[in-house]
Amino acid sequence: MRDICRIDLATTPPFRIGALCVEPALRQVSTAETDSETLEPRVMLVLVALARTRGTIVSRDQLIEQCWDSRVVGDDSINRVISRLRKLATAHGEALFSIETISKVGYRLVGSNPDDPAESEASVGAVTAASKLPATVTRSLRARPFVIAATAALAIIAVLTGISLWPASAANDGVVELAITTSAGPGTAPGVAQALRDEMGSVYGSERLRIVDGSQQVARLSARIGNMGGEQIVFGELRPPGDGPAIWKPRIPLRDAGAIKGAALQLMGGAVCVLQPELTRAPVNRSPVAVSAWASYCDENSTDNPNNIRQIETLRMAVKAEPRFFDAQSTLALMLGVEAQGQPGPLADAMRAEGLRASNAAALIDPRQSRIHQARANLTAETDFTGFAAEVRLALSARSSGWENSQLQGHFLFSVGKLNEALAAHRQALAVVPGNPIDTLECARLLAATGRYAEARQVFEQQAQAENDRSLIDWQWLIAAIAAHDWDNAGRLVGKVALVDQGKEAMAKLVTGMAASNANMVQDAGQRFEELAANPATLSGASVYGLAYSGRPAAAVNAAGRLFEAKGRITLRLLYTPAFAPARQTPEFAAFVTRIGLADYWRKSGNLPDFCLSPGAPALCATLRRRG
């Protein structure tokens, strides 16, 4: 449950409710089309309180505690603020949200997928530029489709007009042109604007997106660095060709010099999201409902903790409004593949069936696109490794094959134990999109898994400096550091990783015991990991690693099997880490990979995992070589 505390508007970061930009510190709201409106302090407090629960109910007592300092407040005061917010919902165009009254309980804000101002470190419109391939990215990476994220303010002009934003010439050579400019306001450090411009020009590579000099005949992305509430902020604007108003206004905090690269990724990622349909095929006129739904999908996808179900619902709206919207159909198929992972059998089957219908609809629109096969790879059953491999091959051979397919190939190869080939695939993706955090982190994991910890550590260090959210980096680095006996970094990282309290305590004891060669401490930690692994609510990759490192290989295999049943084949990567080497020698491991069909795939394809090619290979490998 969320802690109940008084809201401090001065320190609450900007956030978004659909197309509505909310700036608590300034007490202002606006959209891409409307001027800023200043709200009364109490009205803004209640708006923040409702928005940060992301659609759950806020009781009357909670509102009083958070927004009125627990003072005695009459119903009239609360009703007046709620009435003011309901007027606000329609004052900036179409209804942006609604506030429901739950009789004798409280209120909740619904609609337009509000951001969480209490948890999100991203500013208004902040987006993630890394591509997202759902079936192959861990859930801790918030497995999202590779479509680059943006916000609901994107394409606002298209929503109103129902026409393509981009000039007809873009369809002639398949290239969309984008001009980017940066500037700095008073009080900013010298050279920051130019550094941001340099990063923006280099963070995204595409043969269909061309960075050009400024002109009214091309889309224009500008970024001005200024100050707001004592914090340095990048104020961005994306404008369509011509004299039209801005269609996207991101505001991205620059907390330190290392944040420049992240801001550049966010700015370029946002631009690419709105361009995505134009980059894949000739511009077409799309219905306002379809474009609006697509923008809502992008909005949810860009949050720190996107809700897959909400994304799926917005994509369903888009394809219902316009069945021949290729990007929406193919992305719906991708998202359904994500959500099907780890679901109970009947529900997973229903999601996969709907996803296949969406991928078939996309194929009728443009059968040559590799995204169809990316989606179908996602939609294969968790144990269908042969089907997954076939769709990866088709994606790689498709007309539109690009770096995202190399990423997909890398994820598949990692899941079946071909670590060196997976590393090569991710490096190929990085050659096209340098700095992509997903491929970069995968390279670090693969380097560590193949015994090249010194190289992996350099990558982890660089990523830790470049990324604002270091939780996943710290976790993967910790596992690699333990395997390499890098106790200085392991001891430092174990205090930072985001684990449930019991798991963190057990992991800290494990690291301390292993570093000191204290067998009793290691065994105590292992016992705690057994307890955590036995409970579905606390079973995690940390439990599996903890069991493996504490000398419980059979228990580690059994826990890995339960984790696979709960979360799907993405969990198979931990089978190939150094920590799991003793577990691979057990009969339980042979039984597990046989039960899930992985041994059958290895045997029939002849594509044996790397551990079968190393000294001391498990006895299982001898049976895998008997093809037939």
Report all structural domains of the chain as residue ranges with CATH numbers, in order of start.
9-110 (1.10.10.10), 121-291 (3.30.160), 307-384 (1.25.40), 500-628 (no CATH)
For the chain, give the percent of residues with pLDDT over 70.
78
Among the listed ranges 12-16, 379-383, 454-458, which one has the minimum average pLDDT value? Answer: 12-16
- Where is pLDDT greater, at 251 or 495? 495
Mean pLDDT value across residues 15-42: 78
pLDDT for the residue 303: 53
pLDDT for the residue 251: 78
Residue 191 and residue 335 in contact, taking contact as beta carbons nearer than 8 Å = no
Cα→Cα distances 492→355, 466, 511, 521, Å: 43, 19, 10, 18
With the CA atoms of 112, 118, 124 and 128 taken in that order, what torsion angle do they form, in degrees rounded to the nearest 10?
Answer: -90
pLDDT for the residue 166: 36
Q: What is the pTM of this model?
A: 0.65
pLDDT for the residue 314: 84
pLDDT for the residue 257: 63
Residue 178, beta-bridge partner list: 211, 219
Note the helical H segments in 68-141: 75-91
Mean pLDDT value across residues 571-598: 96
Q: In what order do the strands lie in the sheet with 98-102?
A: 58-59, 106-110, 98-102
Per-residue model confidence as pLDDT tens digits over 511-540: 999 999 999 999 999 999 999 999 998 899
- Where is pLDDT greater, at 513 or 103? 513
Tokens of 446: 């693969």
Per-residue model confidence as pLDDT tens digits over 234-280: 898 877 777 766 666 777 888 776 688 878 877 887 777 766 766 65
Which amino acid does the sequence have at 498? A
